[in-house]
């Protein structure tokens, strides 16, 4: 009897995952079923393949959780977590797995929030006090939200017509840590924002056609310092990620890059990360000797 129920539940979940695609993030719904089944299901279906061609499928969950555990070795207990442009909400679920007390994710596109709400209803992992909304970043203030300890600003900076004001809205709601991940334009001296015009109809892009790429971490640190952050930790900056994004048209030869940067309003929050980095450097030097 229980096998029958489980089999039909599995079939229902799989059917719904395929219906809700394309997916960007690999998120487990149950220990056995993840959103990755969409990838398998569409392999021989040209209609789905076309729809998902501009949506990269990535699996950052474990890496994100490991990073958070390095910054917060005791977990995210009592932390409020905000995810700006949350897509299907993966990072909120992972923050919840680490013990966050409350998670709120928003995205301007209903397509992604439908996925997030499906996961919320069907995940067999802790989901209390996780909420999602269809919302534009620029309307964030209207909600009178309580401040958050941790804010994720990932994949959104370079999809905004006014990224400085957009980032400031998120920064003002953040009391401790902001995690910024963005595409960059690396063929300019760092210290500027480079204009572009993206396709606003693509599921993964912005809504305004006008967008700006930072030239590197320096310009972002300046903006974040102005927005109240005191300490920074550059996780990575790859100056060439090879190939131009099909979603972004610019009138010049461009070098696409990517960076991830942590900003803190709490002094000493990155001490553990900095120590680990210097230990690694030390070890490398010793190995060279």
Ligand X SMILES: C[S@@+](CC[C@H](N)C(=O)[O-])C[C@H]1O[C@@H](n2cnc3c(N)ncnc32)[C@H](O)[C@@H]1O
Q: What is the rounded CA–CA span in Å between residue 202 and residue 155?
A: 14
Buried b / exposed e along 47-83 (16+ C-beta atoms within 10 A): ebeeebebbeeeeebeebbebbeebbeeebeebbbbb
151/215 with CB nearer ligand X:
151
16/109 with CB nearer ligand X:
109
Q: What is the rounded CA–CA span in Å between residue 37 and residue 179?
A: 29
200/272 with CB nearer ligand X:
200
Q: Mark the segment that binds ligand X (CB under 6 A) among 41-49, 125-133, 203-211, 249-257.
A: 203-211
DSSP alpha helix (H) spans, the chain: 2-20, 37-42, 46-51, 61-71, 90-97, 110-122, 163-172, 217-226, 271-288
Backbone angles phi, psi at 224, to 5 degrees: -70, -35
Residue 109 interacts with ligand X (CB under 6 A): yes or no: yes
If you write DSSP's letter for every residue of 213-239 in order, what string do you get?
A: EESSHHHHHHHHHHTT--EEEEEEEES
Q: Pick the closest to residue 247 from 57, 25, 54 (CA basis).
A: 54
Q: Which residue is nearest to ligand X (CB)?
A: 155
Under rule CB under 6 A, how many of the chain's residues touch ligand X? 17
Contact letters (x/-) for ligand X, 155-194, by CB under 6 A?
Answer: xx--x-----------------------------------
4/136 with CB nearer ligand X:
136
CA 42, chain centre distance (Å): 24
51/272 with CB nearer ligand X:
51
Among 206, 214, 216, 257, binds ligand X (CB under 6 A): 206
Residue 257 interacts with ligand X (CB under 6 A): yes or no: no
112/132 with CB nearer ligand X:
112
Among 14, 136, 162, 190, binds ligand X (CB under 6 A): 136
Q: Mark the segment that binds ligand X (CB under 6 A) among 26-34, 73-81, 152-160, 170-178.
A: 152-160
45/59 with CB nearer ligand X:
59
Tally of residues, the chain: 289
Residue 82 interacts with ligand X (CB under 6 A): yes or no: no
Q: Pick the closest to residue 86 from 18, 155, 150 (CA basis).
A: 155
Residue 107 interacts with ligand X (CB under 6 A): yes or no: yes
Q: Which residues bind ligand X (CB under 6 A)?
A: 24-25, 85, 87, 107-109, 112, 136-137, 154-156, 159, 204, 206-207
């Amino acid at each position: 009897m229980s096998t029958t129920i489980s089999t039909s539940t599995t079939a229902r979940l799989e059917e719904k995952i395929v219906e809700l695609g394309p997916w960007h993030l690999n998120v487990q719904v149950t220990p056995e079923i993840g959103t990755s089944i969409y990838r398998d299901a569409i392999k021989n279906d040209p209609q789905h393949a076309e729809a998902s061609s501009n949506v990269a499928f990535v699996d950052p969950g474990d890496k994100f959780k490991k990073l958070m555990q390095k910054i917060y070795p005791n977990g995210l207990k009592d932390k409020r977590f905000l995810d700006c442009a949350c897509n299907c909400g993966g990072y909120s679920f992972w923050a919840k797995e680490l013990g966050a007390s409350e998670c709120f994710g928003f995205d301007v596109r209903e397509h992604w929030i439908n996925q997030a709400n499906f996961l919320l209803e069907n995940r067999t992992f802790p989901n209390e006090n996780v909420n999602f909304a269809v919302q534009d970043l620029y309307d964030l203030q209207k909600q009178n939200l309580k401040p958050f300890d941790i804010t994720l600003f990932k994949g959104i900076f370079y999809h905004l017509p006014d990224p400085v004001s957009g980032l400031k809205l998120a920064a003002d709601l953040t009391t401790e840590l902001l995690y910024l991940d963005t595409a960059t334009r690396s063929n300019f001296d760092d210290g500027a924002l480079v204009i572009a015009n993206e396709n606003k109809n693509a599921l993964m892009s912005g809504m305004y056609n006008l967008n700006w790429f930072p030239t590197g971490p320096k310009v972002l640190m300046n903006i974040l310092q102005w927005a109240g952050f005191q300490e920074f930790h550059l996780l990575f900056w790859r100056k060439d990620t090879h190939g131009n994004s099909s979603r972004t048209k610019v009138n010049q030869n461009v070098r696409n890059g990517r960076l991830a940067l942590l900003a803190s309003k709490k002094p000493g929050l990155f001490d553990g990360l900095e120590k680990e980095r210097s230990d690694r450097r030390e070890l490398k030097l010793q190995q060279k000797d």
